[in-house]
Amino acid sequence: MGIFDDDFYSTKVSRRARSTSSKDEFAFSNKKGMRNWSNVRIAFVASFTSAVAAVLLFVLVFGGGGIGPGSHAASVSASGSASLEQRTIQASAKVRPAVVSVINEQTVPYGLAPGDGTQEQAGSGEEGQIQGSKQEVGVGSGVIFKLKDGKAYIITNHHVIAGAESVKVMLVNGEKREAKIVGSDQITDLAVLEMDGKDIKTAAEIGKSSKLQPAEFVLAIGNPLGLGDSLSMGIVSKTHRVVPVSLNEDGVYDWQQEVIQVNVSINEGNSGGPLIDMDGKVVGINSMKIAEVGVEGLGFAIPIDNAMPIIDSLMEKGYVSRPYLGVYTVDLEQYFAQKQQEEQAAGSDGKTDQGAGAASGSEESDLPELNLPDEVFNGVIVLEAVGPAKDAGMKLNDVIVKLDEKSISSTLELRQYLYQTKHIGDEIKVTFYRDGKLKTALFKLAEKTKDE
């Protein structure tokens, strides 16, 4: 019966065939050998059919990739690797012409070497500076996402161009072009640049970050450590992660960023570059990494679905329109921490540690007396009131504890409540302490402009 234990592939003759054969024998009994010849023919045809079917099935199952144990697995593995490799090459080739290096230029002090804070004699080599000249103080990445009216528009990070007096863009072919900042937003860490679009043919295609899945392969393209046109590959570790950030880089977390977590290598200079899927579509803007000893494979990208509404607003207005309360604040928790540090520095026996005393300084000894009730530990202190808050009568050292009926314990919570639940023109009730007395102010939220 051979390989397959099945009547379809066997050389047996069915009952119907046997019956037909008997009738033939009876009708043509004068033809000797007819039955024997017929059986041989049937057996031959059945055997041939069985062999052909076996070969076809073997090819379908094993892919014709060799004979012997393990040949099927090797064939499938090789096919899968080739497919992924080809998709990676095609995806990167599709986007790479649209990826650029973004150079932040600022005027540096006389003789200051950029990046390390050391002093060198002006004109003493490559690092020597001429007073008043603009120098590269930072390099990041960006991606061209739109070509219109002879202009090319680039997405990058806010922190890449922060403080820039001028911005240059280096194309993938090494050509440098002047660029101008269309708009920038510190909260979301996004910015848009504009440059001459002459001879630029490629704009990256925007994808959908909402379609990403954990373990999906992605690529980061950018300018890590100044090494332009570099690619790194990894997987999506988590499609939605919330990480705290310090907008003023003072160590105080005053915002939370929604990001895609990846294990792709994200290094200094990758910021602002695209994170792409295997179809060559931009699904994120590389933004940050965890840079601590012993931490590896923790990179973050701004989801493109979150980024595009911000980009559209920057293109239209140059800033992101948000409701504006009109207060600059510091957390009450910080006030208590500084006050405790001041008391510890002073010491109960008058013996002040030199280091602690130097650290506290005169500024900490000038902390205002807020005269808060003993049960009040959370809130934000008003450092300055402007716009609608000033018009409503709020002043320096007022301590905000509620917005509407929502308790507020930090600047982060204040921003979150405003930006996530309120709109321009909405009324808001602010509850605050002034000289130990609880007060309220009711006013309308204004629009936060670019200058504010």
Residue 1, token pair as written in the block: 């019966």
Q: How far apart are CA 266 and CA 273, in angstroms?
A: 10
Q: Which residue's entry shows tokens 């920038």?
A: 184
Cβ(54)–Cβ(2) below 8 Å:
yes
Q: Residue ranges of the alpha helices (H) in 366-432?
A: 387-391, 411-421
Q: Is 174 left (phi over 0), alpha (psi -120 to 50) or beta?
A: left
| Residue 265: other Cβ atoms inside 10 A | 17
Q: How far apart are CA 432 and CA 329, in angstroms?
A: 13
- To the query of whether residue 185 is one of the catalytic residues in this protein, the response is no
Q: How far apart are CA 300 and CA 296, in angstroms?
A: 12
Q: Write the CA distances from 378 to 251, 402, 411, 427, 432, integer angstroms.
A: 19, 10, 11, 23, 11
The number of CA neighbours under 13 Å toward the Cβ of 51 is 6
Nearest CA among 212, 224, 215 for reference residue 279: 212
Angle, CA of 174, 178 and 182, to the nearest 5°: 125
Nearest CA among 413, 406, 397 for reference residue 431: 406
Please give the torsion angle defined by the CA atoms of residues 426, 431, 434 and 439, in that order, rounded to the nearest 10 degrees: 90
Looking at the chain, the number of H-run helices and the number of E-run strands are 9, 21
Angle, CA of 221, 226 and 228, to the nearest 5°: 40
Catalytic-role residue among 50, 92, 184, 189:
189
Residue 251, token pair as written in the block: 């160590």
- To the query of whether residue 159 is one of the catalytic residues in this protein, the response is yes
The size of the chain, in residues, is 452
Strand pairing of 166-170 and 176-185?
Answer: antiparallel
| Residue 304: other Cβ atoms inside 10 A | 25
Catalytic-role residue among 50, 141, 209, 271:
271
Catalytic-role residue among 92, 101, 158, 159:
159
Nearest CA among 94, 101, 158, 91 for reference residue 302: 158
- To the query of whether residue 189 is one of the catalytic residues in this protein, the response is yes
Nearest CA among 328, 323, 314 for reference residue 189: 314
Catalytic site residues?
159, 189, 271
